[in-house]
Structure 1
């Protein structure tokens, strides 16, 4: 609230001070957007240990696919190749971070988590899990070479 004793806050200051809203699933509610900024906002808003996992995954994806395109749609960070579509998404649940390989059935080996959709496979990362970075990098590299999803 602004009165004669307080300085009005700019829109940027208000946004920076706002606590992220978590959906009932534990996923941060982030406005739709394209590029680095909305994905960084999502990762920053991931609660607790999940933010560190998000930063690690993001860094590994960028290291593996330097020209990766990023966006947040439906409160979900998406990674893709321009002109090919999206190949990977992240989602934050209360107890784990979910990585969806959108063409995961075409990866070798196939990621462990089954999906209701024909082509998607999941990797769920829990708080005390040790990420097999070499396998993750391999999956990201393979996924980035496949035709992506037009979401």
Structure 2
């Protein structure tokens, strides 16, 4: 705006501060979607699920897995439940985790969605027989990458049984 002198008018302090304050308090798009009950997919299509313990957050994660990966998640969860009755469950760092015993006894397995596959992490995988195929920078961790239509349920169940009998990873 220009004043009577033709020079720009100076904004008052409130006029300047107001737009800045609006900008700072504007919620992020992911926060808005979460408030509306929509699941945000992170890079690679991994669902953003709030940290929580028990079956409910794990089921929410599995339901939010995109496309064929949701079916893989349901199958993994069912195999783990069948192989390790009473397995402890949680979602941490936007990934389901499974453990046995008390909370402080750690976790034996977790999984995560990536663009073209589901990555299963066996936290003591180097001790499994046969050793899962995916190497890790961490000496004990081994990975299993499951692409569409490639889950060997019998081998996965054997690894789950072995992994659940090893000391858990504390996280």
Shorter-chain TM band? 0.7 to 0.9
**TM-score, L = length of structure 2:** 0.77
Counterparts in 2 of 1:15 and 1:29: CA distance versus 1, 3 Å: closer
TM-score, reference length from structure 1: 0.86
Q: Work out the CA distance in 2 between the residues paired with 1:118 and 1:37.
A: 32
Structure 2 stretches of 5 or more lacking a match?
1-32
Deviation larger for 50-59 or 83-92? 83-92
User: Deviations for 1:75-116, whole angstroms, at most 9, x for unmatched residues?
Assistant: 010000123210000100111001000000000000001111
Gaps of 5+ in 1: 1-13
Give how far 1:17 is off.
Answer: 6.3
Corresponding residue for 2:61? 42
User: What does 1:12-23 correspond to in 2, within 5 Å?
Assistant: 18-23=37-42
Shift in CA distance, 46/103, structure 1 to aligned 2, threshold 3 Å: same
Distance 2:91 2:41 in 1: 15
Matched, 1:93 2:93: no
Instruction: Give the structure, 1 or 2, with the largest relative contact order (CA under 8 Å, sep 6 or more).
Output: 1
In terms of fraction of residues, the more strand-rich structure is 1
Whole-Å separation in 2 of the counterparts to 1:64 and 1:133: 11
| 1:148 aligned partner | 168
| RMSD after superposition | 1.6
Equivalent-residue separation in structure 1 for 2:156 and 2:60 (angstroms): 23
The equivalent of 2:79 in structure 1 is 60
Equivalent residue, structure 2, for 1:138 = 158
In terms of Rg, which structure is larger?
A: 2
Counterpart contact for 2:34–2:40, Cα < 8 Å = no
Question: Which runs of structure 1 show a deviation greater than 2 angstroms over 4 or more consecutive aligned residues?
Answer: 14-19
